[in-house]
Structure 1
Amino acid sequence: MERWKLIYKEDSSFLTKTQLISPINIKIIYSTTYNPPHKIVDFFVDFLLEGSIEVLWNKLGFLLNFLGDTPCLHPSDVNPLTHIEAVLNESGSFLYSFFFVRNQVQAPRMDLGLSDLLRNFELVEAKIKEHCIVVSNMPSCTTRKTAVASLFIVDSLLDDLTHLLIHKADQIVGLNDQVLTFNEELILLRSSLKDITLQQHPQLEELLIQTTDIAYEIEYIINTFPPVWYLTLRLPQFMDKIKRILMGIEETKKNIDTGIIEVENYPIEQVSSQEKGPLILEDIVVGFDNKEIEIAEQLVRGPEHRQIISIFGMPGVGKTTLAKKLYNNPSVVYHFDKRAWCVVSQIYNKRNIFTDILRSVKDHDKETITQMDDESLVEALYKSLIKRRYLIVIDDIWDVNSWNDFRRYFPDDKNGSRILFTTRHKEVGLKASHHSVVNELPILSDVECWELLQRKVFQKEHCPQELVGIGKQIATNCQGLPLAVVVIAAVLEKIEMKEQLWHKVATSLSSVISEDPNKFRYILELSYNHLPTHLKPCFLYFGVFLEDEEMSVKELMHSWVGEGFIKKEDGKSSDDVAYEYLVDLIDRSLIQVTKRTSLGRVKTCNVHDLLYDMCLRIAEQQNFLKHT
């Protein structure tokens, strides 16, 4: 049976709560929790069999879905929101008294109450019809709801419409021809947009964004299966919006053909991942050679007691990159019996941290560890480390209290075990132990920035002489931050090696540095601005996850496909195309690989803290998502 989202009254204080529930579930809750007399149970079963309650459920479902549709947001003299609230409250009281009150209920009284309630629903539906007619007579609104275009949602919508016409035609009796005509208009719109999606101009981007908004709006309506009368009112509005966009496309094309507006041709500037060769698996590190040697000595030499060694520095300076180099340094690997890596961040889950460490230091599969209770988990961790020389890397620790929260679980057997912190704050290492060693990671010099930029862009090739001057200027503008260099290098790597194109990047960097003291976030935003249209929503979707969360690539790709972010290509599955998008984002240094399969494919990934902050900021600015 279909499950509807029902708002019901929980008690006499008129507290409303949202819960997924079905008539069958309510039957079970009522009969098992309250154990009513058989007479009432018999009446209740008869009541369900009559189908009356299902009618009520369907009407409640429509009202709640209507609240998610655009027309209810438009003000009008006959706005139905007050009437909807009243009938929902009445429904909640009815259901509460029927299912959650112990007093014996008489069938005639319940039947009369339901009849009155359904009559009130008819009055509300009349108000909704009147409101929709008023809204339909207003000037068609194509104001953007988000600033992020995802054209492939139209492909997903066309699939939904085809499915509706072929498999669920009985739900649109009398509207089949209108829906078919509407489907043809969408196909025409999709075809018209196909030729301009690769050209960059504000007018063209605005049309893409409007198309995305309308596609999401239509898809919502189609997939909530509203009554036919509601579709009859809404389809003409959608048709009007689509025709306005088609007119805008034709006008824009005409202006392009006559030279009234100029556009930048995206493919000329872009270089595909395939042309650049396979993804480089090793991080390129510049400027840390001496630090790596120094800290490696601290790890394998020094006192026998368990010692805390910290690497601190500003965000994006390369702390985690250096820690990974040390973690995999042959002399370090040889020296320690056990090694483990965990990420703490500002918000962390203690159990997850222990699970990560235990999976590294003990031969347990994930399922076995997951089934352990907290006490068993801690005991297994302690036993796996005791009498062994271990190295635990605690990445991105913000506060010494985090260390104090679980320090007792790491034994000190005076055998040279080490805890390695990476942190933004010097005092974390200083307060963690009287014997801790604190290492500051400085920013890069201009020369080191230029070396890193060259190695990231040209790999083993030499920089063309005509790009050396402007390249050095770009490197200097990165202000010594390795992450900024790496991200900007990924931008340069994706455009043609032309001096005028590099000058555009240099000019953009110079302007943001002079305009705002918080320059680094704007430097990083250039990488987002240079993304092709189809990759922008894919990147912003990472804001759905938690900071430092390690994301399953399989689940991520399925989410992208479900959201309509992935283009349908002949001869390729949606997952294959989604994986290509992910690799492109990795190539652009916006996404980090955390694990690979035995065949070398990306298994899990995450986002650097600074890029995650940027992702959230842009997503909220552009109404892509909101965090509450």
Structure 2
Amino acid sequence: MFRSFVAELQVFFQVRNSNSSLSPNELDAVFIDLFLEILEDILRLQPNFILRLKDSIETLKMELKFLITFLGDTPSQPIELETTNNVLADIEAVANDVGSLLYSFFFVTDRISVTAMTQTLSDLLGNVEHVKEEIKEHCITVAKILPSGMTPKTAVVSLFLVDSILDDLKDLMNQKDDRIASVKDQIQTIHQELMFLRSFLADMKAGRQNPELEYYFIQIRDLAYEVKYVVSSFAPVWYLTIRLPQVMEKINLIRIRLQEMKKKHDAGMLKDAEYPSQKILLQDQRAHIGHKYFVGLEDEATKIKGQLIGGNHNLEIISIFGMPGLGKTTLANELYHDPWIVQKFDKSAWCVVSQTYRTRNILIDILTSMNELNEDAIIDMDDDTLGQKLHKSLSGRKYIVVMDDIWNVKAWHDIENYFPKNNKGSRLLFTTRNEDVGTEAFAFVHPLKPLTKEECWYLLQKKVFYDEPCPKELMDVGEEIARNCDGLPLAVVVIAVVVANMEKKRELWKDVAERLSSHISKESNMYIDKLQLSYNYLPMHLKPCFLYFGAFEEDREIAVRKLILLWVSEGFIEKVEHRSSEDVAQECLTDLINRGLVMVAKRRSDGGVKACNVHDLLSDMCLRIAEKDNFLKVIQK
């Protein structure tokens, strides 16, 4: 059985025997990296017979690291170029030879002799030297080697992200590294040129959104990544002396094109931005944007309120269901904090369930919401202990618990026994996008309907003008915008912020109305395209900050301190003299909140934001845009 297993294991030491979604370059690099780890372990264990081979193995390690560098510095997709294809094929052959060597070292019944291994290593290093000569010839022949899929190629660009990469490049120059000493002047020249182009672009941009300008920001960023990647990897000096002048040629080409664009810019001939830039809101306008309006939910709120505080003394469940964005959580939150309801219950708690839930997390959320749980004691409690603690804290008391965004009735059944049925008139309030959840839990079911076009228009006016009347010249186009939100309150709210940030000009509002009407889809995510309009109108520096919310678990509160530190470390935040990056990041967050894209989950005692989150639909939108634009990809467990 062991020998049979060993024979099957051999396929794992061959590059092409893996079914993978990785590009050929990435797949080769992954296998070479695996082999490097195995070689590291061999050197660490240092069996007696390996001592004679130590120098050869160390050399092989360095050569393999350079091959990974080349794979990362070459187009990751197959291209019709004979020299490139030949080099990549030979690198793969070397990787397979290394795999065969390691397989024989560990698993061949007749252990390979030291002499034979010495000869095999010598042959391998000879093959690597041949590949390096091919690489050298290839680099001289091919004038433009594209940056790889191993360096970011996202269409989401931030001016400050470019700054961050350039800072990293400067740090590399300041390091005392003998390996790059002979090319340091070239690196410094490239850095200066990229800094110049970055400033040149920033001056031309001057607050406007223009596709051509953003394209060149991406070009500069990718060049900076390219230089940083090559210089900080394991490339030998001869490789740097070939590659760096090629980068310089690309920079010169961009400089020429930008100078031509500058002439158009100065002559006012630049193409209009696809999405016009928005003016910054005045302080009093910001307050208006944040004001809540309870539209279209009044009747359901009255019915549910009666069921919460009236009815019999049995434990009853009330379910609010409807498609995402209709205001289920908003309605539940209004009821949960209603003073009249608050005073009727001894205990109240709120938890978020979501699609991928853990019973333990639900119990912790409920207990924490009631201030019944010492966080230090959580580690020592299993699920049943937490459940018993919940049962004890609710026994003999009239309680109300909101279970927000519950997808499956199983989540309720998993914790049902921990809720005492004590004839005190306790209530459970569900919000769900699935009607069956309420039905199967024997709940009073309240379906929410989309807003009428009149309700949409009323909500839009209140969000944009507060208590001021809408100008007559904007009435018809404003009604058109409201109508194109298709009755979704969330869409009305975020689009209202878009138009509130604009000048009150008919042509600008008309553009928004037309873009909304063009986003027509009847699929399950039919509203995401409409919501995406609010993303498209964001200033360039806020786009990566907003998309980053897609990296967090849906429905979970995000600690603002953690979020800000991540934004800063990712390079999304501008470096402003005499100001901390954290303060600047806080302003970015406040801007996103004022635009209706981010919600405040908790506030500090001084009124600042302690935790935040985003709506489910907006989270889905972040993930979709982030994946499409190669910004980030979340892999579900």
Pick closer, same or farther for the CA change 1:344–1:184 going to 2, 3 Å. Answer: same
Conserved? CA contact 2:349–2:370, under 8 Å: yes
Q: Distance in 1 between matches of 2:290 and 2:266?
A: 45
CA displacement, residues 584-603 of structure 1 (integer Å, 9 cap, x when unaligned): 11111112222233333323
Amino acid at match of 2:183: L
Q: How much does 1:317 deviate?
A: 0.9
Task: Tell me, yes or no, if the aligned pair for 1:345 and 1:396 is still in contact at 8 Å.
Answer: yes
Q: Counterparts of 1:557-572 in structure 2 under 5 Å? A: 557-572=564-579
- What residue number does 1:14 align with? 12
Identity across matched positions, percent: 50
Structure 1 distance, partners of 2:265, 2:290, is 43
Secondary structure at the aligned position of 1:200 is classed as coil
Q: Deviations over 1:545-604 (max 9, x none)?
A: 333233333333333333332222222222222222222111111122222333333232
Structure 1 counterpart of 2:82, one-letter code: D
1:369 corresponds to: 378
Q: Aligned partners of 1:453 and 1:137: how far apart in 2? A: 52
Q: CA deviation at 1:422?
A: 0.7
* Partner residue, 2:82: 77
Distance 1:561 1:311, change over 3 A: same
Q: Name 2:353's counterpart in structure 1.
A: 344
Q: How does 1:30-69 map to 2 (within 5 A)?
A: 30=45, 41=47, 53-69=57-73
1:398 is aligned, of 394, 407, 410, to 407
1:86-485 maps to which residues of 2 (within 5 A)? 86-95=93-102, 110-136=117-143, 145-197=153-205, 198-263=207-272, 269-272=278-281, 276-277=285-286, 283-433=292-442, 436-485=443-492
In structure 2, relative to structure 1, the CA distance for the partners of 1:277 and 1:200 (3 Å cut) is closer
Describe the shift of the 1:338–1:494 C-alpha distance in structure 2 as closer, same or farther (beyond 3 A): same
TM-score by length of 2: 0.84
- For residues 519 and 274 of structure 1, the distance between their equivalents in structure 2, rounded to whole angstroms, comes to 34
Deviates more, 1:326-335 or 1:370-379: 370-379
Letter in 2 for 1:484: A
Displacement of 1:532:
1.0
Residue identity opposite 1:321 in structure 2: T
Asked whether the 8 Å contact 1:492–1:502 carries over to 2, the reply is yes
Q: Deviations over 1:315-358 (max 9, x none)?
A: 21111011111111123222223222222222222322222122
Given that 1:26 and 1:99 are in contact with CA atoms closer than 8 Å, whether structure 2 keeps it comes out as no
SS of equivalent residue, structure 2 residue 406: coil
Query: Structure 1's 306 and 134: CA in aligned 2 closer, same or farther, altered over 3 A?
Result: farther
- Shift, 1:529, TM fit: 1.4
Aligned-partner residue type, residue 26 of structure 1 = D
Deviations 1:167-196 (A, max 9, x none): 234230210111111111111111111112
Structure 2 SS opposite 1:203:
helix
Q: Deviations over 1:97-123 (max 9, x none)?
A: 657899988665555544443333323
The answer on whether the counterparts of 1:344 and 1:353 sit within 8 Å (CA) in structure 2 is: yes
> Is the Cα contact below 8 Å between 1:270 and 1:494 reproduced in 2?
yes
Alpha carbons of structure 1 residues 492 and 408: separation in structure 2 relative to 1, 3 Å: same
- Cα distance in 2 for partners of 1:11, 1:92 equals 11
Distance 1:103 1:605 in 2: 62
**How far apart in 2 are the matches of 1:551 and 1:60?**
41
| Residue equivalent to 2:508 | 501
**CA RMSD, Structure 1 to Structure 2 (Å):** 3.6
In 2: Cα distance, 1:279 partner to 1:101 partner = 75
Counterpart CA distance in 2 for 1:102 and 1:418 is: 70
How far apart in 1 are the matches of 2:158 and 2:228?
13
Structure 1 residue 425: Cα displacement: 2.3
Residue aligned with 1:173, SS = helix
Contact 1:457–1:493 (CA<8 Å) still a contact in 2?
yes
The 2-side partners of 1:566 and 1:20 are apart by 38
The 3 A distance-change label for structure 1 pair 156 and 209 is same
Between the two proteins, the alignment pairs up a number of residues equal to: 606
Cα distance in 1 between the residues matched to 2:284 and 2:240: 48
- Which residue does 2:580 correspond to in 1? 573
State the Cα deviation string for residues 245-303 of structure 1 (Å, max 9, x = none).
Answer: 22222222212333444435999742246574459766332232332232122112212
TM-score w.r.t. the length of structure 1 is: 0.85
| Structure 1 residues 212 and 180: CA distance shift in structure 2, 3 A | closer
2:624, 2:77 → 1: CA distance?
Answer: 25
